Amino acid sequence: MQHRAENTLCRAAIMPNANIVFSIDIADARSTDIIKQVEDQNAAIVTATSDATREKLEQATGLTRNDLVAALFAANFTNMSLNVISSPSFLSDVDAVAALTLAKPLTHKGLLAAMQIMNDNKHAVQVTEVSVEGKPAVAIRSANPTETPRYAATSKDGKTVYVAFNKRSLTSTLQRETSGSYEKICPDLQMLEKQIPDHSQIRLLFRRPESSAMPKLSSNNEPFGKLQTISAGINLDKQIHCRAALTFTGSESAETAAAQLRTLLPLFVMATMQSTGNKTGVSLPSSLRIEAQDTVCNLSFTLSESDIIPQIIPQTPAHPVSNETGRTAAQPKSSGTPAESPRSKTQRKDTGDNK
């Protein structure tokens, strides 16, 4: 099965000359062994708060998380300037849309209720009904005047939800869906997608805009200021297989990027894992490969259940780890009294108590 972005019901979200397209085949990913194992482990540590929110959403929409089929995000930065991107309100100008495909239809009333529930704890956010392209939609506005309102609407059949960063983007999306005149990803992204294995459920395609939106090519932002394209795919089965290719303007930039990624990736993974509650240590997979070949920096790795379960799932308190010994409560102690630590043994030896 090919997981092409254009084959999904989210395709109305793809605009002309999109620079970024990110897509996930959620239904197929959920059916894989590795995701089932992760979800089984994660089910035991879902918090009461998230349970309550999920129950409210299910009651308001009639949908469960198993009704999520696919997701897609697309954006076009071609005509934007660096000054616009630096502005707090730049999202009001960028053409960007996220789409979520559902197994069952969602009504406008259900969408409005879902947005209200999801923003219920945000006191400075107002969720209201509006009209876009003559169709009912939802506006999510912040009390901060520098923040651009977001807009959401359902498709004609209710099986796709569109969320845009401005009204113009949502209008264009609804027009494409109404006319049935869908955009294909540009030839450059089509070439990039051919580099991704067909069975990859998660895909990222990026090409540098031909404008001043990206940083100027200078030594101050070497090497990523010279990044031209990214193609990345993740294939899920009994394991997680990831491949990414970053293309630069020159071979020297590709080699520098590879060297920097070898240094920065472990730090990034450690920070990410620790932010999820993992304090027991993080290790990168032995399969990780980061290599430069001509103008391309290639990255690949494979993760098994034993690689990811202990790292992405916070440790349960059933067998707490001792701060002094590093042993869990379930592990036997080799010697000494039950509460004795290596430090206390050293202190006894120093005072002559163990003669």
167 contacts 151 by C-beta, under 8 angstroms = yes
Q: Is 304 exposed, middle or buried (0-12, 13-18, 19+ CB in 10 A)?
A: middle
- Cα 41 versus chain centre, distance: 20
Residue 86: per-residue pLDDT: 54
Q: What predicted TM-score, i.e. pTM, was given to this entire model?
A: 0.78
Which pLDDT band holds residue 97 (cuts at 50, 70, 90)? very high
Q: Is the dihedral of CA 79, 83, 86, 92 positive or negative?
A: negative
Q: Is the pLDDT of residue 345 over 50?
A: no
Sequence letter at residue 5:
A
| Span of 44-48, 240-244, 329-333 with lowest mean pLDDT | 329-333
Residue 286: per-residue pLDDT: 83
Q: Is the pLDDT of residue 247 over 80?
A: yes
**What pLDDT digit, counting tens, does each position of 47-92 carry?**
444 678 889 999 999 999 899 999 999 999 876 655 555 555 666 7
Of 131, 170, 117, 133, whose CA–CA distance to 148 is shortest? 170
For the chain, domain boundaries: 1-186, 215-317
Of 144, 71, 142, whose CA–CA distance to 102 is shortest? 71
**What pLDDT digit, counting tens, does each position of 2-32 carry?**
444 444 568 899 999 899 999 999 999 999 9
Of 248, 229, 257, 242, whose CA–CA distance to 196 is shortest? 242
Residue 319: per-residue pLDDT: 46
